[in-house]
Structure 1
């Protein structure tokens, strides 16, 4: 069946007159009549019968009107949804970020995005840089916010900012009153570090590699939040990215490591910009607003 003919038929029944339907659809009256005739010929039934000057809808016509109305409404919704997806008003985005970038840098950006685009189905995950890059390559994620992926994965990478490692200390710790700390100052203290697959753990071990490495006693902790709570409980010293949001007034401070200055670049990684939906591209653009250096550094 011709969709235009169904639309014409629906208008004729709804408005109760062929001429009114022609005016609404901006057709010539003869065009409306011709489309109805073709629809009846295609179906092999009469949809209208004439009673003098009146045109009455047949039983078959009444059933078709009900179905045609639902179909046209569905098509209208489909058209609107497709249009919304094309403009980024609707759609879906699935991405992942490392911590503490996710909580310290991206949370506010994501909240604003969701408020302005409530129809977009957004899934934000938190993971490690390696797994994020591999999942982006596999097509499981639209993009990721992490360290630079291995070249063998052939992913695009847009640098956003640099992060530096620091030392998280309890305010009662004897090193807490210093503006900066040397690596040698950490000797014989319990050092709380992330798991071996974490980029911050790798950065720390690369920075201290050499003669000083055996001076440190490290304890692996799988969460920056747990490291934070353990330092607060005066269990050890945490190695964390320098974020003011990880400090706690009166309890915790983060100091730079003066003689090491370990730095890593964080950015957006994706497979192919042409494969990304409009909503994903818009979210990436919002995330680029954090390109400026971290004010806590």
Structure 2
């Protein structure tokens, strides 16, 4: 069924014309105008329907009808006609200025998405945990770029729940997170496991120990990440498994900030190994319960991958079991 032409009720008052609410008119006029903007710009540029039709590779009659319909739908004369030659009216010149800007923006947008999808030089929007930023992620990108030297990365460093939100919003292609999410709209794959240490001040009563049961720290004050961080959830769960609820002295956003506060004597913390050893603390292996966190990669289910995203995803999955830097065997601890 042929869709009725959209006529601005503010310009055409004939009772035979459809009358639309302002919101309905705005939505429908965009659908009507958009396909004709390139046609209008070509006719305006050539000031000749035949030459414009030749450039656009459309029949002249099609182009002529499109321009007549465009003027009718706008309710404004855009062209002054003399045979097949046309010239812009003042309204046409004003309209052309905006149309050219709109078409240029569309062209820039098209160039941008094509560039992002280019197999050799495209873009990967990649999110990762704060604790992965100092060593793990730089090493991954460096290794990936051996074979893909010109792929660009848009990096986002955040806590797990915030990254999942950005993944769902379409801001990220992939994210490296912990715990590994389990949700029907996401695909997640376990990549590695990272052991957690009980970090204590170097003058602490447990500082000369190499191994400790977590219950032995039940009376200690803990410095932890804020609620919503995956490591905070793991800390709470491990303490509950050990038989106590941690007494929290401070909640922060960075693991290394917590390590510094431990060195200052504010409390103890469950943390992954540091990239560089920090003076003033001892890192103890927790023997019971087994203190570790899974690291995984997640993406939106059913979301099509561009070639660079697909290549980086394959690369990450190929690193299963070897994602993280070498760690001391479970049950041992590096010498202070």
- 1:195-242: per-residue Cα shift (whole Å, max 9, x none)? 11111111111122278425634421221121122123233212212x
Verify the 8 A CA contact 1:89 1:279 in the aligned structure 2.
yes
| Residue of structure 2 equivalent to 1:190 | 221
Shift of the alpha carbon at 1:179?
Answer: 1.6
| Residue of structure 1 equivalent to 2:210 | 179
Q: Residue 221 and residue 82 in structure 1: after superposition, are their counterparts in 2 closer, same or farther (change >3 A)?
A: closer
* Residue 91, structure 1, aligned to residue 122, structure 2: yes
**The 10-residue stretch of structure 1 (198-207 or 284-293) with the greater mean CA deviation from structure 2:** 284-293
Q: Secondary structure, in 3 states, of the residue corresponding to 2:228?
A: coil
Q: Residue 237 and residue 215 in structure 1: after superposition, are their counterparts in 2 closer, same or farther (change >3 A)?
A: closer
Pick from 285, 299, 308 the counterpart of residue 279 of structure 1: 308
* Residue 225, structure 1, aligned to residue 256, structure 2: yes
- If the length of structure 1 is used for normalisation, what is the TM-score? 0.63
| Residue of structure 1 equivalent to 2:275 | 245
Alignment of structure 1 residues 8-27 onto 2, 5 Å: none
The count of corresponding residues between Structure 1 and Structure 2 is 218
Verify the 8 A CA contact 1:192 1:237 in the aligned structure 2.
yes
Shift of the alpha carbon at 1:106?
Answer: 1.5
| Residue of structure 1 equivalent to 2:165 | 134
Tell me the distance in 1 between the aligned counterparts of 2:300 and 2:248: 40
- If the length of structure 2 is used for normalisation, what is the TM-score? 0.56
Verify the 8 A CA contact 1:105 1:290 in the aligned structure 2.
no
Q: Residue 273 and residue 215 in structure 1: after superposition, are their counterparts in 2 closer, same or farther (change >3 A)?
A: closer
Shift of the alpha carbon at 1:291?
Answer: 2.0
Alignment of structure 1 residues 34-183 onto 2, 5 Å: 85-86=117-118, 88-114=119-145, 117-146=148-177, 147-152=179-184, 154-183=185-214
Verify the 8 A CA contact 1:188 1:217 in the aligned structure 2.
no
Verify the 8 A CA contact 2:199 2:269 in the aligned structure 1.
yes
Q: Residue 214 and residue 199 in structure 1: after superposition, are their counterparts in 2 closer, same or farther (change >3 A)?
A: closer
Q: Secondary structure, in 3 states, of the residue corresponding to 1:229?
A: helix
Tell me the distance in 2 between the aligned counterparts of 1:231 and 1:89: 46
Gaps of 5+ in 2: 1-50, 56-109, 331-336
Shift of the alpha carbon at 1:111?
Answer: 3.3
Whose RCO is larger (CA < 8 A, sep 6+)? Answer: 1
Verify the 8 A CA contact 2:182 2:188 in the aligned structure 1.
no
Q: Residue 100 and residue 289 in structure 1: after superposition, are their counterparts in 2 closer, same or farther (change >3 A)?
A: farther
| Residue of structure 2 equivalent to 1:236 | 267
Greater share of helix: 1
Gaps of 5+ in 1: 1-38, 44-77
Q: Secondary structure, in 3 states, of the residue corresponding to 1:245?
A: coil
Verify the 8 A CA contact 1:106 1:287 in the aligned structure 2.
no
Verify the 8 A CA contact 2:249 2:267 in the aligned structure 1.
no
Tell me the distance in 1 between the aligned counterparts of 2:316 and 2:263: 31
